[in-house]
Structure 1
């Protein structure tokens, strides 16, 4: 007797950094996971650069609680490798960057995410720059436009 399973398709695997418990850097594990195909409104992005932020240590240590097991990394840049139905603002091959709230999976070779979070990168913006500026750029914009709308003639101090 021969059994066939029509529901079995090619499995897409990727390497990612995961944590199963909170703690120091020793809790980070380099592991292989199934990426899957994008669903409705999702895209799969192959990372070319990731942003590393102080907030990642807060998630890793448990200071900012996240559901475990989890990945780390909220911002990255890369190339769209697949899109799900309903996605029309990006297509396979587009260079993109993003910042996301949890679930975190930026520290990976490839990931699925809500395609609405993707921003196309113009020529002249390097992937490393885009991956490093998304979270900090959003924070700066929010502070300058929402927390305290800066007006012409006012002074501000920016520091890293």
Structure 2
């Protein structure tokens, strides 16, 4: 790495990650201030990257290493993936509710006339690229296990898997 010949993959900052999740799902995050101020009001839909006050946050931001901004140095931030972060993405009701109840997710599932079109729209929305041939084949093989009645479940599982993939969680 002496000549900057490669770029090491880094986890997205906490604020960027929650904003991406909210944008994909069409949901919003609620923020609170650790300092009890009577005039602290964060409007719904406000992006985490725009939070100017270090005392305003959420449990997600805390788990994913948002710094308190005591010094203003970037070294104050901890972007090292932790077990708590992985468990939050994999098992939390917070992320699951965003996926299951997100209006954008529901419109994505109704966005195409066939399974391939919906699959393509999901990949473009979450990973900003179309699915590869092998990804399409793998999904069809997985979705066929559910039958016609379980297609929504198969797509929800795919969305959950893509949102937990290194391609989504890391800057590379």
Same fold, TM exceeding 0.5? no
What TM-score bracket applies, with the shorter chain setting the length? under 0.3
Question: Could you state the TM-score of these two structures normalised by the residue count of structure 2?
Answer: 0.23
Question: Could you state the TM-score of these two structures normalised by the residue count of structure 1?
Answer: 0.24
